[in-house]
Structures are given as structure tokens and as C-alpha cells.
């Protein structure tokens, strides 16, 4: 939010736990807005689009045929035991004020939860379902009993292209290869932390178990040079 406010276009796409984390950590104090979802561990469904979904930032450029297929075919892959219910969404004014729901689904007990949303102000997008899973279905538990429509692959490619185009709106570059290495994902030991947290989260979702790198102090050392869009160290100016 801070980077976008300072003119640095910074898109975020949160998938599955990512959308839950986004909704829980966007406010002070942080909250846990999730509820248990029944029967959504391995399920493909259509999306129930909201009335204004077609005009949203996320779906306005999607081809009409693909948009209709998402609304009618079992394309959205759900692999989760928790979700943010519409009841919670409507009861937390901070959430509904900052995020617009563009699609929902119902679990096996009829609870309506958020499937797709986006920030009203920032380039932040959240999906409870997995568009990327279409190309990795064979590696998923019980995947053999799921039928993957052909349009699911087109959907996966479209979302990849959408995120790529969003990221290309950011014109920042690194000053050197050494500076770039500081921001490499490999610098953050997430595998062990995530696996331990995921084991706990299966029993009870806990945002406190997931550790993410804090970039606040790093980002404060940089500004955008408006003349060329490069990310410059304050000490260099």
C-alpha cells in the first residue's frame, strides 16, 4: 500500500491462503476473518460472478468466451478447508470498504464464501481458487477423480498473462546485480517454515504461523527517480 501511494506500481495476487492472509493482515490490529469450508478440499466449480464483476479491473479484459466458461464450467479448482464467508465480509466494514467481491462459491453446507476479490484502490487481487493448478493436476491428491475442462488451461494462461502485464507497469530496476541478489527469493528460507506452518494450519488456520519478509526498512531507503523510472538509493541522489 505504501509503495503504491508513493507512485511505485506494485501489484499483488494472493491465491488460496494468500487471499485469506491479505484480508487478515491488511488492517491494524490484524484479524482472522476465515471460517471452515466443508467439502472444498478437492473440488472444481463454476464461479458465481457478482453483478459488477465484468467491469472489475480483473475481469474487464477477459475474453467473453472465457468469462462465460468460468461462469458455467467446473474450472475453479478449490483445495482449501477455510475461506472468508460473505457473512464475515459484510460484518467487517473495513474489509468491505477496501475490497470488492467479484465472485463467490458455496461450500457443501451452503456457506457462501469469497472466491475472487480485488482492492478498490490498489492493484491487489485475491483468488480462493487455483488457476495455476490446471497444469499440475496430476500431482494433486485425488486428482484422478477430477475432470479438468480444456478451458481451465486457457484460464491459467490468461491469469499468468494478466499478472505479467500488471508487473510490467512497474518500471523499477536494480542498480547492480549485487543489489538484485539482496531481493532474491532464495534469500528467505521459507520451505521449512511453510511446511511446519502448513502442518499446523491443517488443524487450525493461524496467521501467526506464517512468516513473510519485512521490506519496510529496505523500501524506505529507495525512491523513484521520475526521470527514468529507476529505483534509486537515497544515498545515490
Angle made by CA atoms 47, 53, 58, in degrees to the nearest 5: 95
141 among known catalytic residues: no
- List alpha helices for the chain, DSSP H: 2-5, 17-25, 64-72, 86-91, 93-98, 150-167, 177-182, 191-203, 216-219
| Cα radius of gyration rounded to whole Å, the chain | 19
Give backbone dihedrals phi and psi of 69, rounded to 5 degrees, phi first.
Answer: -65, -35
Dump the DSSP string for 189-206: --HHHHHHHHHHHHHS--
- Cα separation values, 61 from 57, 119, 188, 236, Å: 8, 17, 35, 40
Catalytic option among 16, 78, 80, 88 = 16
Query: Could you tell me how far CA 214 lies from the centroid of its own chain?
Result: 18
16 among known catalytic residues: yes
Catalytic option among 78, 88, 98, 130 = 130
**Residues annotated catalytic, as ranges:** 16, 130
Amino acid at each position: 500500500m505504501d509503495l503504491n501511494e508513493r507512485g511505485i506500481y506494485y501489484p499483488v495476487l494472493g491465491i488460496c491462503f494468500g487471499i485469506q492472509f491479505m484480508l487478515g493482515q491488511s488492517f491494524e490490529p490484524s484479524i482472522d476473518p476465515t471460517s471452515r469450508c466443508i467439502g472444498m478440499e478437492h473440488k472444481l466449480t463454476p464461479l458465481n460472478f457478482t453483478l459488477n464483476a465484468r467491469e472489475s479491473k480483473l475481469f474487464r479484459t477477459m475474453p467473453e468466451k472465457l468469462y462465460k466458461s468460468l461462469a458455467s464450467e467446473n474450472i475453479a479448482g478449490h483445495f482449501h478447508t477455510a475461506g472468508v464467508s460473505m457473512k464475515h465480509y459484510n460484518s467487517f466494514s473495513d474489509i468491505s470498504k477496501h475490497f470488492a467481491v467479484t465472485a463467490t462459491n458455496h461450500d457443501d453446507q451452503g456457506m457462501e464464501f469469497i472466491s475472487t476479490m480485488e482492492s478498490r484502490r490498489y492493484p491487489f487481487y485475491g483468488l480462493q481458487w487455483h488457476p495455476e493448478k490446471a497444469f499440475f493436476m496430476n500431482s494433486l491428491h485425488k486428482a484422478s477423480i477430477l475432470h479438468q475442462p480444456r478451458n481451465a488451461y486457457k484460464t491459467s494462461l490468461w491469469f499468468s498473462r494478466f499478472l505479467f502485464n500488471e508487473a510490467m507497469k512497474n518500471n523499477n530496476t536494480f542498480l547492480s546485480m549485487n543489489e538484485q541478489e539482496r531481493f532474491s527469493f532464495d534469500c528467505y528460507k521459507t520451505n521449512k517454515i511453510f511446511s511446519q506452518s502448513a502442518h499446523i494450519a491443517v488443524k487450525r488456520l493461524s496467521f501467526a504461523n506464517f512468516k513473510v519478509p519485512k521490506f519496510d526498512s529496505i523500501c524506505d531507503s529507495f525512491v523513484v527517480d521520475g526521470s527514468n523510472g529507476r529505483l534509486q538509493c537515497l544515498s545515490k541522489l
